[in-house]
Chains A and B, each alone.
Chain A
Amino acid sequence: MDINITEDQRMLQDATRRYLEARAPVTYLRQLVEAQTPMPDIAWREGAGQGWLAPFVPESLGGMAESAQGAIDAAIVAEEMGRVVYPGHYLPNSVLAFAIAQWGSQAQRETLLPALAAGEQRGAWCFAAPGVDSGTAPDGVRLERSGGQITLRGVAANVQSAPDADLLLVTATDGEGVTQLLLPAATAGIEVRALDTLDLGRRLADVEFRDVSVTADAVLGAHGAAADCFEQQLQLALVLHCAETVGVIDRALEFTLDYVQQRYAFGRPIGSFQALKHRLADHAAQHEGGKALVARAAKAVQEQAADAAVAVSIAKSHCGRWATEIIRDCLHMHGGIGMTWEHDIQFYLRRAVSNEALWGSPAVHHERLCRLAGL
């Protein structure tokens, strides 16, 4: 995270790390995986009870949005979650809390924000069409309006936490532009099809909308006017996603550095061989680069600076690519033990590879950067 974080942010970081190490270390994820069970509701409620969503919720509804730096604070939390490959639902719920706080009606804010913040309701965000270019555009769901009635059709792909969600934020398009809606996951016509995931700590689903009919009071903000809201939500999501990836790399490099100093071969620690040392130096340098980019992205998004759109795509490209490259090599440096089911590095690599591909691969963000540069 930023080297200039405040004293409050330092405390948030320490408290989050302590909580996650005590209550959700990576061995907890292993237990869930081996028992073939998703994280229980009560565990997410306990986590949310730490105040993780408070930076987005106004004080009048029990949060601390006025005194917090939403995107930066949330990135600090997300990075800690990356260190333990946390299986909870932090990213989508942060995006929902942010969106509802920003653009929700009084009624939407009062009914939904406290419930999300307490972990009693869980959200997911549906927007992207399936495909290799998926992840950065609201191209999955079409909307039709006739009178007071709205009909939704289409498929939103790879929706994070959808199998566990009570509440869906849907970003859809029609001839008038981009519109967002909030609806219960149990609405008739919605089918949530859970996917098999490489990342064993994350549940994704394709969400199909089959002529889902809702009334206009489900709309978040104004009809046809949410293109900029979508972009802001996407930027926040990318900051959290990248911050988590930085945490994943951070911890994997830490235990790999320990390992190469403890493991001896040919009468000396394998970490004294330049063949390993030089690769680890490159990894540390690229990792520092990722930290610098994510710090800038969080700040730019928080301040809605002119470079926010650029900063998140740059961070996503860099972190995505290097997380996979670095952790794959960390696994290699562990030798045989790194290939075994019993070693935790698999969870780190699974999340790194998934994070590279989801929310727009590096290739998708390179193209987005060209467009942002007017090319």
Chain B
Amino acid sequence: MSATPDDTKDNAEEHAFRLRAREWLRTHLPPRRLQDEPMMDWADKALIARDRESQRALWEGGLAGITLPREYGGLGLDRRYADIYYEEAQPYRLPWHFGNAFNIVLPTLLAHGSEELKRRYVPAILRGEHLWCQLLSEPSGGSDLAGLTTRAELRGDHWLLNGSKVWTTGGLDCDMGICLARTDPTVPKHAGLTMFLVDMTSPGLAINPIKLISGTVDFCQEFFDDVAVPADHVLGEVGGGWAVASTQLGAEKASMARGWYEGLAAAVESDEIELKDEYGRMARSLGVHEDPRARQLIGEAFVLDAVHTLTTRRVSAGIRNGALPPTAGTLSSLLVALCDVRRSALLSGISGPAGVAAKPGEEGLQWGMTRVTRHRIGGGTTEMQRNGVAERHLGLPRDEADIADRTVPFNRRKVNPDRAQ
């Protein structure tokens, strides 16, 4: 549903920009069809190709990188113009596969990149040439990111990377990756890390897709076998990788709160609560809409949806205007995860036996086991989010074992004795 953009606050220049964007978008971008087309699907090669074309077209049409500095290919305009653009872009499909590149890589690159890296890689994103992925998690650990073991060793004018990364969104289709690796195992874990920019077509880099329970193949695992990275492709300082990763993770959290590739959350939203038809339709199609037990669960689902939406909005607005501390962001991420877990239970509860056994071709099974791969693990497990709320927002003390692990040199920390090398 797209509200009519509010153009009454525009000045003359803004209004001219709005009209130009409106006309250009109408003639160049495909319509938004979120009902039957996902924002991202890394198995849909045609959709990815279409997003590359759209981003290229945006560049050529002078609508890419609205707030980015001109020296890196942006338009150098203020925030208000980006808002206007996103308001006008509501009816269209934006190139959402560039979400990682815009939301996560760009802010990190701008904050930590050398002048040369910025001039080379920022415009390549704007031109639709580079899709980016993040090479962070590893098979040996995801939550304990700073405990990663992929190592990078300097060999003259290049680094050699060895190890493995996993849970890389779109790894097979991305052109570039931002990769955290260990460059010094003799210092405490956070201090020995460095961030690299890696060409995903490099020799020695093998990329395998991972099929999830739901059947989707958005994630990949990568194996690094003497992958060479030019010495100048370090982002930030050697040994300063954790600071870069913090910028990156912060950007990821902020974009999740805001809505992927903006576009969605930038919609002119009313703060009224709407009860979704989805539950009623589902209950009717399963014939349980008059069952008092099902109605209890449906009522609770309405509550969950409202908690999810209103809390996210309250927290991001509160942080923006200073009424809430930045750490309050941890509250809404945790709550969204808690809501998702409960919603999954409600949906299978409402569907009952129909959620686990359906006549061929009939509805039902899609409700039996929903969202098992979402939120509770991805983007930080709920346990890590709870630590975040407790330690950063509520100010509760850290666990002693955690403090010990953070201070001991990496190569002398406690490991599983069966796996010790």
- Per-position binary interface string of chain A over residues 343-375, scored 1 when its CB falls under 8 Å from any chain B CB and 0 otherwise: 000000000000000000011011111101111
A273 to B391, CA, bound (A): 11
Q: Is the CB of A282 within 8 A of B386?
A: yes
- Per-position binary interface string of chain A over residues 263-286, scored 1 when its CB falls under 8 Å from any chain B CB and 0 otherwise: 000001101111001101110111
- Per-position binary interface string of chain B over residues 267-280, scored 1 when its CB falls under 8 Å from any chain A CB and 0 otherwise: 00001111100011
A225 to B299, CA, bound (A): 29
CB distance from B97 to the nearest CB of A (A): 31
- Per-position binary interface string of chain A over residues 297-324, scored 1 when its CB falls under 8 Å from any chain B CB and 0 otherwise: 0011000011100110010011000000
Chain A residue contacts of B271, Cβ below 8 A: 296, 299
Given B280, B311, B397, which contacts A374 in the complex, CB threshold below 8 Å? B280
- Per-position binary interface string of chain B over residues 69-80, scored 1 when its CB falls under 8 Å from any chain A CB and 0 otherwise: 000000000000
Q: Is the CB of A288 within 8 A of B302?
A: no
Q: In residues 236-275 of chain B, which contact A (Cβ within 8 Å)? A: 271-275
CB distance from A145 to the nearest CB of B (A): 36
Q: Is B307 an interface residue (CB 8 A)?
A: yes
Interface centre among B275, B315, B390 (most CB of A within 10 A): B390
Chain B residue contacts of A305, Cβ below 8 A: 272
Q: In residues 347-390 of chain B, which contact A (Cβ within 8 Å)? A: 383, 385-390
Q: Is the CB of B398 within 8 A of A272?
A: yes
Q: In residues 92-138 of chain B, which contact A (Cβ within 8 Å)? A: none
Q: Is B334 an interface residue (CB 8 A)?
A: yes
One of B150-158, B175-183, B221-229, B323-331 contacting the partner: B323-331
Q: Is the CB of B303 within 8 A of A366?
A: yes
Q: Is the CB of A281 within 8 A of B299?
A: no
| Number of residue pairs A-B, CB distance < 8 angstroms | 156
Q: Is the CB of A281 within 8 A of B394?
A: yes
Chain A residue contacts of B383, Cβ below 8 A: 274, 278
A291-B314 in contact given A274-B387, A310-B273 (Cβ < 8 Å): yes
Interface centre among B274, B306, B314, B398 (most CB of A within 10 A): B306
Interface size range on B against A: 35 or more
Q: Is B298 an interface residue (CB 8 A)?
A: yes
Q: Is A293 an interface residue (CB 8 A)?
A: yes
Q: Is A25 an interface residue (CB 8 A)?
A: no
Q: Is the CB of A272 within 8 A of B299?
A: no
Please classify the interface of chain A as helix (H, G, I), strand (E, B), loop, or mixed, using the class held by over half of its residues: helix
Q: Is the CB of A285 within 8 A of B323?
A: no
Q: Is the CB of A372 within 8 A of B397?
A: no
A281-B390 in contact given A370-B295, A375-B280 (Cβ < 8 Å): yes
Q: In residues 370-421 of chain B, which contact A (Cβ within 8 Å)? A: 383, 385-391, 393-400
CB distance from B325 to the nearest CB of A (A): 12
CB distance from B158 to the nearest CB of A (A): 42
Chain A residue contacts of B297, Cβ below 8 A: 366
Q: Is B300 an interface residue (CB 8 A)?
A: yes
Q: Is the CB of B280 within 8 A of A285?
A: no
Chain A residue contacts of B335, Cβ below 8 A: 285-286, 288-289
A273 to B328, CA, bound (A): 21
Interface centre among A299, A366, A374, A375 (most CB of B within 10 A): A375
Q: Is the CB of B332 within 8 A of A300?
A: no
A311 to B386, CA, bound (A): 28
Chain B residue contacts of A6, Cβ below 8 A: none
A2 to B390, CA, bound (A): 23
- Per-position binary interface string of chain B over residues 149-177, scored 1 when its CB falls under 8 Å from any chain A CB and 0 otherwise: 00000000000000000000000000000
Q: Is the CB of A292 within 8 A of B313?
A: yes
- Per-position binary interface string of chain A over residues 87-118, scored 1 when its CB falls under 8 Å from any chain B CB and 0 otherwise: 00000000000000000000000000000000
Q: Is the CB of A307 within 8 A of B390?
A: no
A271 to B399, CA, bound (A): 9
A293 to B304, CA, bound (A): 11
A362 to B296, CA, bound (A): 9
Q: Is A67 an interface residue (CB 8 A)?
A: no
A288 to B328, CA, bound (A): 9
A366 to B301, CA, bound (A): 9
- Per-position binary interface string of chain A over residues 121-132, scored 1 when its CB falls under 8 Å from any chain B CB and 0 otherwise: 000000000000
Chain B residue contacts of A284, Cβ below 8 A: 331, 389, 393-394
A157 to B416, CA, bound (A): 63
A286-B390 in contact given A278-B383, A293-B307, A296-B273 (Cβ < 8 Å): no
A362 to B386, CA, bound (A): 26
A366 to B390, CA, bound (A): 31
Q: Is A326 an interface residue (CB 8 A)?
A: no
- Per-position binary interface string of chain A over residues 162-177, scored 1 when its CB falls under 8 Å from any chain B CB and 0 otherwise: 0000000000000000
CB distance from B306 to the nearest CB of A (A): 5
Q: Is the CB of B273 within 8 A of A314?
A: yes
Chain B residue contacts of A146, Cβ below 8 A: none
Q: Is A260 an interface residue (CB 8 A)?
A: yes
Given B273, B292, B389, which contacts A281 in the complex, CB threshold below 8 Å? B389
Q: Is B338 an interface residue (CB 8 A)?
A: yes
Interface centre among A281, A296, A373 (most CB of B within 10 A): A281
Given A4, A273, A289, which contacts B311 in the complex, CB threshold below 8 Å? A289
Chain A residue contacts of B40, Cβ below 8 A: none
Q: Is the CB of B303 within 8 A of A281?
A: no
Q: Is the CB of B273 within 8 A of A272?
A: no
Extra contacts besides A277-B390, A285-B389, A289-B310 (17): CB < 8 Å: A3-B324, A257-B394, A271-B397, A274-B383, A274-B387, A274-B399, A280-B396, A281-B389, A282-B334, A288-B335, A307-B272, A307-B273, A310-B306, A317-B299, A363-B299, A367-B299, A375-B280
- 10 A-B pairs with least C-beta separation: A366-B299, A281-B389, A277-B390, A281-B386, A3-B323, A292-B314, A285-B335, A292-B310, A272-B397, A278-B386
Q: Show 10 residue pairs from A and B whose CB-CB distance is below 8 angstroms, ordered by the A residue.
A: A274-B383, A282-B386, A284-B389, A288-B314, A288-B315, A292-B307, A306-B272, A310-B275, A317-B299, A366-B297
